[in-house]
Chains A and B, each alone.
Chain A
Amino acid sequence: MTTTRTRGAGATSFGPSALLGIPAMAFFAVFAILPLGVALYLSFTQWSGLGSPEWVGLENWRTLLTDSSTAHSLMLTIQLMVLTWLVQTPISLLLGVFLAGRQRYREILAVVYFVPLLLSSASIAIAYRNLLDPNFGVFSGGGLGWLNQNWLGDPSLTFYVVAFIIAWQFVPFHTLLYQGGARQIPQTLYEAAAIDGAGRARQFRSITLPQLRYTIVTSSTLILVGALTYFDVIFILTQGGPGDATRILPLDMYLTGFVANKMGLASAIAVVLVVLGMVLSLTISKASGFSKMESQLDGEA
């Protein structure tokens, strides 16, 4: 490589100038960093959305820590996180590996499985609302026995129904991830294993799973951190109800801020969500060695 002639100093390094990053950085600062700072500021104020915010110090944070309804919302969020992970991971892992096969009919199945992801959350929620309606829904015709339940109105059922619908919506996406991951696994490994006499189950356990571990990390991070942002589906399905049975933290933030007009407290909840999301994603990365990710091809690792 020849040294490029430049007018400015310090421009001898290769690649595009750092100046090209400025618009993006400016955008990020204005639309991400600055609002975050304002939210942090608001969390120390009392503000109804009208007039000027009034500084109240740590009062919102004290409310947050002592108020049992926030704790309830946080618990629900964590439960939903774990539940959706437990439902989505095995299903999408198995589906993804299955669909990574090369037979033609699997492509058609892949398209069918993919359909829920093509629908918007709002339409999914409205569709399920109507399907599960105890008086006019699909199960209300009679003869379907236990299926005709008050799915979205029974406090002991609704949480699981919501988790199911969310899983239904996002399984295709994670299936796609696993499908991609599984297709990257060299066929030679399977051939060698077959020669050694390993059956399908053994191949799955000893080759597929270990080879997919980084995909599992990626998918799990998306599921777990994503659980902090479930809002649209639940808002339309239940509005956090019945009672507060599905009032997860993001919904609690919305209702506190935009319905009860307590912007200060809502900002504090927002900050909690941001911190929670960052801690979670950093922990998963660290614990799984994701940051040291290496190529798995050509005999490495």
Chain B
Amino acid sequence: MDKNVIRTMSAGVAVGAMLLVAGCSSSDSSDEAATSPDTTTVWTTAGTDDVLEASATRWNADHPDGQIDVQIFENDPYKTKLRTAISAGQGPTVFSGWGGGGLKTYVDAGEVTSLQSAFDAAPDLLDRIFPSVLAGGTVDGEIYGTPYNGVQPVVIYYNKDVFEQAGVEVPATWDDLLTAVGELNDAGVAPFSVGGASKWPYLMWIAYLTDRIGGPEVFQSIVDGEEDAWLDPAVIEANTMIQELVTAGGFVDGFSSVDANQGAAEALVYTGKAAMQLQGAWAYSGTYLTAAPDFVESGSLGWTTFPTVEGGAGDPANVTGNLSSYFSISEGASEAGTANATDWLLNGVFDDTYVDELMATGAVPPISGFDDKIAASSAPEWNAFVYTTAQAAGSFQLSWDQALDANQAEALLTNLEKVFLFQSTPQEFSDAMNTVAQEG
């Protein structure tokens, strides 16, 4: 059988299984050439839809020969659809991703066009973007993805009213945090809310603790696939501290069935059932501001960085979280499509209007020299906090599930949940992950 036939058929099976075939059957590149030669398709996930669509509309008005067509998808189905479409040679010209390990698999499969030379020709833009964020779109020293939305460090949110009533100080160190946990429990309030049913919120705890204890090098060696990297004492220590926190009653009762995707974890905080939450910057505009605007506007929502860990090797200014989302250009795109897409990515995304509109949605672009705009924004204190936190971070670690390849990320979510539920010891966690990592 011809290799392409197998490829297409295999992809077809995958599509059929997911019932996702409907939308992508018409976007075959040859069809496209016949119907609308100048349209550059852009696939992305929901989030900053309006900003992107406004940018495309402006671009289309100025560029009759190079139209941009932005198509928005839901998060989880998008990943499968994109993979299937690209594999079958029916992908879009531009697609969105989260950088890190996910981007690397596409680059390794030869499906992504390098943006390095285009960026080299635009040194101004290169200088403006935070280096730590640009690094997320870089694979083997070459830029393959350009950030297009806000920077999203993970921070601690807290309910100021609850803290006041319980007479608790905002924790600056891990010991403070454990003290606060005891005091909050005495006051009858759950210290931390976490959306355990969705699994990924657990990651933030291990990511921060590992970084604070061992520094960013520990996780870097895991990403690099170094032997026995998961067995690093810092990882085991981090999981031990997680279990200590669980034992101390650090998390809300029934935390393992709190659904993060429905905003239940945030609801616990703004209803006063829990005092704090460790969550990405997206929760501010995405949940707190939309679900409880009165709570936020009355100034009851506080925020702070992750506490320091005594004797730890990591810089307390380091942060973890989502760097940004990135746009990449598909290797299968036509020459004209690639040229138009590159032009749009470098000149149509992150131009002044785009940035203003992005900031109006509560997002903070990873671009330096923005302090004035932040002061004039709708939520200056919050935006300034996110901006300085991201800019000051010596290491901005991409969320672990994005940084790793899909296989390890999937195993990580399951095994970490077992640590939180005491189904695994920290040592068993590291052993299990080490085995998965060695499978390659």
Contacts and interface: CB of A to CB of B under 8 A. Distances in A.
Interface size class of A (residues with CB under 8 A): 35 or more
A53 B421 contact: no
Interface stretch (B59-67, B211-219, B248-256, B391-399): B248-256
B197 A241 contact: yes
Interface stretch (A10-18, A257-265, A276-284, A287-295): A257-265
Contacts of B12: 35, 38
B434 to A, nearest CB: 15
B118 interface: no
B73 interface: no
B253 A243 contact: no
A38 B7 CA distance: 10
A119 interface: no
Given A50-B105, A242-B417, A150 B13 contact: no
A90 interface: no
Interface string A222-266: 000000000000000011111110010000000111111111000
A38 B13 contact: yes
Interface in B233-255: 252-255
Given A49-B87, A50-B105, A243-B417, A152 B111 contact: no
B131 interface: no
A146 interface: no
B161 to A, nearest CB: 18
Interface string B97-120: 000000001100111000000000
B135 interface: no
A131 B154 CA distance: 30
A120 interface: no
B410 A241 contact: no
Interface in B377-410: 405-407, 409-410
Q: Chain B contact residues: over half helix, strand or loop, or mixed?
A: helix
A136 interface: yes
A260 B406 contact: yes
B75 interface: no
B254 A258 contact: no
A134 interface: yes
Interface in A22-71: 31, 34-35, 38-39, 41-42, 47-53
A296 interface: no
A154 interface: yes
B421 A155 contact: yes
Given A133-B258, A242-B421, A261-B407, A150 B6 contact: no
Nearest to A244: B414
B10 A153 contact: no
B254 A155 contact: no
Interface in A198-225: none
Contact of B13 (A42, A133, A134, A240): A42
A153 B256 contact: yes
A120 to B, nearest CB: 15
Interface in B192-215: 196-199
A47 B111 CA distance: 15
Nearest to B423: A243
B84 A49 contact: yes
Given A31-B16, A260-B410, A38 B253 contact: no
A132 interface: yes
A255 B410 contact: yes
Contact of A135 (B252, B411, B423): B252
A132 B264 CA distance: 13
A151 interface: yes
Contacts of A39: 13
Contact of B257 (A49, A132, A261): A132
Contacts of B252: 135
Contacts of A34: 9
Given A38-B10, A243-B423, A136 B105 contact: no
B10 A47 contact: yes
A259 B102 CA distance: 11
Contact of A152 (B18, B197, B411): B197
A153 B197 contact: yes
B345 interface: no
A250 B197 CA distance: 20
Given A259-B406, A260-B407, A242 B105 contact: no
Nearest to B405: A261
A132 B197 CA distance: 12
> Which of A39, A48, A49 has the most B CB atoms < 10 Å from its CB?
A49
A257 B11 CA distance: 12
Nearest to A45: B10
B16 A35 contact: yes
Contacts of B109: 48, 50-51
Interface in B256-276: 256-259, 264, 267-268, 273
A136 B13 CA distance: 41
B156 interface: no
B412 to A, nearest CB: 10
B256 A242 contact: yes
A189 B407 CA distance: 62
A150 B256 contact: yes
A239 B264 contact: no
A260 B86 CA distance: 17
Interface in A119-140: 129, 132-136
Given A155-B421, A238-B197, A242-B421, A150 B254 contact: yes
> Which of A31, A152, A256, A258 has the most B CB atoms < 10 Å from its CB?
A258
Contacts of A244: 414, 418
**4 A-B pairs closest in CB distance:** A134-B254, A153-B256, A153-B257, A50-B109
26 contacts: A38-B9, A49-B11, A49-B14, A50-B87, A50-B109, A51-B7, A52-B6, A53-B10, A133-B257, A133-B264, A134-B253, A136-B264, A150-B253, A150-B257, A152-B257, A153-B197, A239-B197, A242-B257, A243-B418, A243-B423, A258-B14, A258-B80, A260-B406, A260-B407, A260-B409, A261-B406
Given A52-B6, A133-B258, A243-B423, 14 more contacts: A34-B9, A38-B12, A42-B10, A48-B109, A49-B83, A51-B7, A51-B87, A129-B259, A135-B264, A153-B421, A241-B197, A247-B414, A259-B410, A261-B105
